[in-house]
């Protein structure tokens, strides 16, 4: 699980550099995740770059056309961790151990906006994380000196934890003034993906 989490442990939203993809047309998308289906709108111009599933952990990533993992400005990540939903720890504890940007020394961001039950047996929470200036080696192909901000939607049922993440990477920023308000994770994710359901 740790390897799958490395890439999104520090990343975040492309700092409103380009007006952001939420203003672009989006395609309704359905992704199967261990017996459930995630429904969301995939912003225009993104293509699937990763599709890994070892039966326990699933990782799907989308990049803007023409970008790579070395130079991306925006990144959409879907992950699912079978069995982690039955972990006795709270979702907040699991999320902090997975997504807190421990490698970040300049302006680490981590804000957990709490968890709500959205249907019987299903909970959802929102988290913002990131780094004002990435150190080299923060994760594979980290862009040294870049600023990153992530907005994560986390679903949890009795067996599995599922995440939908939108990340942006660009110029470094002042630690107290990230490109987007950290508390706006739900609003930002709704603007980008539209109504998101998992069932």
CA atoms within 13 A on the CB side of 22: 17
pLDDT value at position 16?
33
Question: What pLDDT sits at residue 138?
Answer: 86
Lowest mean pLDDT among 25-29, 87-91, 99-103, 111-115: 25-29
pLDDT computed for residue 27 by the predictor? 87
pLDDT at 192 over 90: yes
d(CA 12, CA 172): 12
2-100+110-193 folds as: Protein Transport Mog1p; Chain A (3.40.1000)
Q: How confident is the model over 76-84, as a mean pLDDT?
A: 97
Is residue 3 predicted with pLDDT exceeding 60?
no
Determine the pLDDT at residue 25.
Answer: 60
pLDDT exceeds 50 at position 17 = no
| Mean pLDDT, range 175-179, rounded to an integer | 88
Stretch 113-132: mean pLDDT: 97
Provide the residue ranges of all domains of the chain, joining segments of one domain with +: 2-100+110-193
Q: What is the DSSP string of the chain?
A: -HHHHHTTSS----TTSSS-GGGS-EEEEEEEETTEEEEEEEETTEEEEEEEE-SSEEEEEEEETT--TTT-SEEEEEEEEETGGG-SS-HHHHHHHHHS-TT--SSEEEEEEEEEEEETTEEEEEEEEEESSPPTTSSTT--TT-EEEEEEEEEE-SSEEEEEEEEEEES---TTS-SS-GGGHHHHHHHHH-S-EE-
pTM of the model: 0.86
pLDDT at 20: 39
Q: What is the pLDDT of residue 26?
A: 75
Q: Are 81 and 161 in contact (CB under 8 A)?
A: yes
- Residue 143: is its pLDDT beyond 80? yes
Residues 180-196, mean pLDDT to the nearest whole number: 96
Residue 126 to residue 111: CA distance in whole angstroms? 9
Interatomic CA distance for residues 90 and 76, integer angstroms: 25
Task: Answer whether residue 61 shows pLDDT above 80.
Answer: yes
Q: How confident is the model at residue 6 (pLDDT cuts 50, 70, 90)?
A: very low
């Amino acid at each position: 699980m740790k390897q799958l989490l490395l890439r999104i442990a520090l990343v975040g939203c492309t700092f409103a550099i380009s007006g952001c993809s939420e203003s672009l047309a989006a395609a309704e998308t359905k992704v199967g995740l261990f017996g459930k289906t995630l429904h969301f709108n995939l912003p225009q111009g993104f293509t699937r770059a990763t599709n890994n599933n070892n039966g326990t952990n699933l990782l799907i990533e989308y990049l803007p056309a023409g970008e790579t993992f070395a130079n991306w400005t925006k990144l959409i990540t879907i992950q699912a961790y079978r069995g982690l939903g039955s972990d006795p720890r709270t979702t907040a504890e699991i999320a902090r151990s997975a997504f807190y940007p421990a490698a970040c020394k300049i302006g680490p961001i981590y804000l957990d906006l709490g968890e709500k039950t959205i249907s019987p047996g299903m909970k959802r929470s929102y988290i913002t994380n990131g780094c004002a200036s990435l150190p080299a080696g923060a994760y594979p192909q980290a862009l040294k000196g870049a600023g990153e901000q992530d907005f994560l939607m986390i679903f949890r049922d009795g067996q599995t934890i599922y995440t939908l993440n939108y990340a942006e990477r660009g110029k470094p920023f002042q630690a107290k003034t990230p490109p987007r308000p950290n508390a706006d994770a739900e609003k930002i994710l709704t603007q980008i993906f539209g109504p998101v359901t998992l069932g």
